[in-house]
Amino acid sequence: MDFETLMSTNYDELIHNQDCRVLLTNYLDTIDSVEDRDIFYVKALTKVGTHLAVEDPDYFTTPQLEKLIQFNYQGSEISRKKVEKEIIKEKGNPVRYTVMEGHFLGHAGSINCILFERTKNISYALNSYDLYLDSAKICLEVDENYSIKSCSYMTSLSWKAYKTSKDPKWLERIIETSTTYIDISDKLDESHAHALNLRARAEFEAYKIFDEVGFLQDSIESYNEALEICNEQNPDLFFSLNMFLGKSLMELSFLDKEDPTPVIKQHEAYIRAHNSQLFEDHKKSSDAILLAGKASLILFYKTKERENLERSLDEILRAKELLDINDQSNITICYGIAADISKILFFETDNLTYAKKARRFYDKYFEFYDQNPNLISKKHFDKANKEYITLKLKLRKKKDRKGGRRPPNKKRRRY
């Protein structure tokens, strides 16, 4: 099958055909320009080539990808000239060539994005962003779906560029492009939720950098908007949204030491995340319920309501039960937190049942530490040891009051 037939076959939908890839890379290695080729030939070549490169970027060398960018540039220039000629005609139809120009620029943006991910050279990211932006502007009136798609690509690219460069300007771009995408896309679907998710994450990062609470509040609002669209039919996205929402609410709770509302909402978010993964991924579900337990503990300190403390203990133990038996590090952490909470409950209630639980959990914690000291940091170990000593002193005083002092030669465990 010749190259043109293969391009035609793969134009609307990629059919995994190794011959097409081989002929395309040979073409890129041997042909220097497509300026003199028919525009429809160039469109087929660049569309199929870009889709193949996005599907399997490692198959293509950097010079081959650079050549594909060049061909897309040349295609956009041919399209622009066609548009100008059609406008001059009395009954010309420039729209289809305008659409092609936007598509060529979008494809060039995608190849630049591949090269950025490969090289981490920020100039490729800047080129990609500008090309997607031009594509979105050109297609806005003539091919709205492609314009929306280009905005979505810009948002994802900007997040990748920010993670690489840590330049706050990329956060501004994420917020701007995701907002544009949301404004022009009237479909409340998963892609909409993804855009809101990226915007929320950018707003949270902007808050951490600029220390402006407005960014944090915007972040929470964006996550809540995304959750109105996304449901548990996509458990991974639903989990991610709730976990990040909980993180933003936690930051908000630090700003007001008295108001329990952000912590209550934080706890609700972590419980939703936990439930979404209960039958999907036990580790994720455990992570979420562990954070819910910590939120309940914070809520106790804010409200002094013992039921929050009891719920915290229950959630921490549920987190431990969901962990794989070999995940000793996180099991040890759960035992340490459960021991501290049980100790607080004993101090609050003077109920020896909680003291027994606390001692059992501390013993488990120290047992795991003895087996592998690298499981937890020395700082955490020292803290647990200090809490354990405090518990023993409290119990000793309680026994002294009842005349139950231990004999002085009784051996005790020391840490």
Same-domain pairing of 124 and 6: yes
Count of domains for the chain: 2
CA–CA separation, 8 and 13 (whole Å): 10
Give the whole-number percent of the chain exceeding pLDDT 90. 65
Say if 222 falls within a structural domain: yes
> Per residue in 83-95, pLDDT tens?
888 877 766 678 9
* Summary mean pLDDT of the chain: 89
Please report the pLDDT score of residue 186 as a whole number.
Answer: 65
Same-domain pairing of 117 and 203: no
Say if 339 falls within a structural domain: no
pLDDT tops 70 at residue 403 = no
Say if 149 falls within a structural domain: no
Domain around 196: 165-230
Say if 9 falls within a structural domain: yes
Residue owning tokens 């701007």: 176
Please report the pLDDT score of residue 188 as a whole number.
Answer: 64
Please report the pLDDT score of residue 413 as a whole number.
Answer: 47
Dihedral, 267, 271, 274, 278 alpha carbons, nearest 10: 160
Q: Six-digit token pair at 154?
A: 């810009």
**Mean pLDDT throughout 68-89?**
90
pLDDT tops 90 at residue 308 = yes
Same-domain pairing of 77 and 210: no
Say if 124 falls within a structural domain: yes
> Per residue in 218-270, pLDDT tens?
999 999 999 998 877 788 999 999 999 999 999 999 998 889 999 999 999 99
Same-domain pairing of 6 and 107: yes
- pLDDT band for position 1 (50/70/90)? low
- pLDDT band for position 411 (50/70/90)? very low
Q: Among the three residues 108, 142, 176, which one is the final residue of a domain in this structure?
A: 142
Please report the pLDDT score of residue 17 as a whole number.
Answer: 64
**Mean pLDDT throughout 324-347?**
93
Q: Among the three residues 177, 200, 230, which one is the final residue of a domain in this structure?
A: 230
Same-domain pairing of 54 and 126: yes
> Per residue in 350-376, pLDDT tens?
999 999 999 999 999 999 888 888 888
Same-domain pairing of 114 and 2: yes
Please report the pLDDT score of residue 398 as a whole number.
Answer: 76
Same-domain pairing of 121 and 169: no
Beta strand segments in 218-354, E: none
Same-domain pairing of 120 and 10: yes
> Per residue in 271-303, pLDDT tens?
999 999 988 899 999 999 999 999 999 999 999
Q: Among the three residues 208, 230, 252, which one is the final residue of a domain in this structure?
A: 230
- Long-range contacts, stretch 157-161, CB < 8 angstroms, 24+ apart: 157/109, 157/113, 157/116, 157/125, 157/128, 157/129, 157/132, 158/129, 158/202, 159/198, 159/201, 159/202, 160/113, 160/116, 160/117, 160/125, 161/116, 161/122, 161/125, 161/129
Same-domain pairing of 126 and 2: yes
CA–CA separation, 248 and 265 (whole Å): 10
Same-domain pairing of 30 and 136: yes
CA–CA separation, 243 and 269 (whole Å): 7
- pLDDT band for position 402 (50/70/90)? low
Say if 16 falls within a structural domain: yes
Same-domain pairing of 3 and 119: yes
Same-domain pairing of 8 and 121: yes
Say if 258 falls within a structural domain: no
CA–CA separation, 358 and 326 (whole Å): 23
Say if 207 falls within a structural domain: yes
pLDDT tops 80 at residue 412 = no
